[in-house]
Amino acid sequence: MVGPEHTLRQAARMMTARGVGSAVVIDPDSEGVGIMTERDVLKAIGAGLDCDVERTGEHLTWDVVYAGPDWTVEEAAAAMARGGFRHLVVLDGREVAGVISVRDIMRVWAGSRMVGTG
């Protein structure tokens, strides 16, 4: 998780250190949860913006589709396909339970295909 006042460089460093492509952004002064993705950072850099000045709060997605902890992998994959995004924030009530990525779904599906083979 990162705050809306972290710089893009700080957010990128945190995501890199954890080996993830997104970070949940919680702004205590607003409603809901946002998400900062590696693509958001890339767009800002590509636009020539200064990563040490720009804040995550200006470059994230607040219009997030949330999954529930009881969603199936298929439901998560369908939501990602419909919305055209690669990360899905999982909420358990009002608490962030985690983030599921396309890579997570691929691992589950690849692992289930390998069961019973060979």
**Mapping DSSP to helix (H, G, I), strand (E, B) and coil, where does residue 111 land?**
helix
Question: What is the rounded CA–CA span in Å between residue 103 and residue 65?
Answer: 17
Are 101 and 87 spatial neighbours (Cβ–Cβ below 8 Å)? yes
Question: What is the rounded CA–CA span in Å between residue 27 and residue 32?
Answer: 8
Residues 47-60 have pLDDT tens digits of 999 999 999 989 98
The answer on pLDDT for 90 being more than 60 is yes
* The predicted structure's pLDDT at residue 31: 66
More confident call, 15 vs 61? 15
Residues 23-45 have pLDDT tens digits of 998 877 776 788 999 989 999 99
The domains of the chain, with CATH numbers, are 1-63 (3.10.580.10), 65-117 (3.10.580.10)
Measuring CA to CA, which residue among 69, 53, 13, 68 is closest to residue 36?
Answer: 13
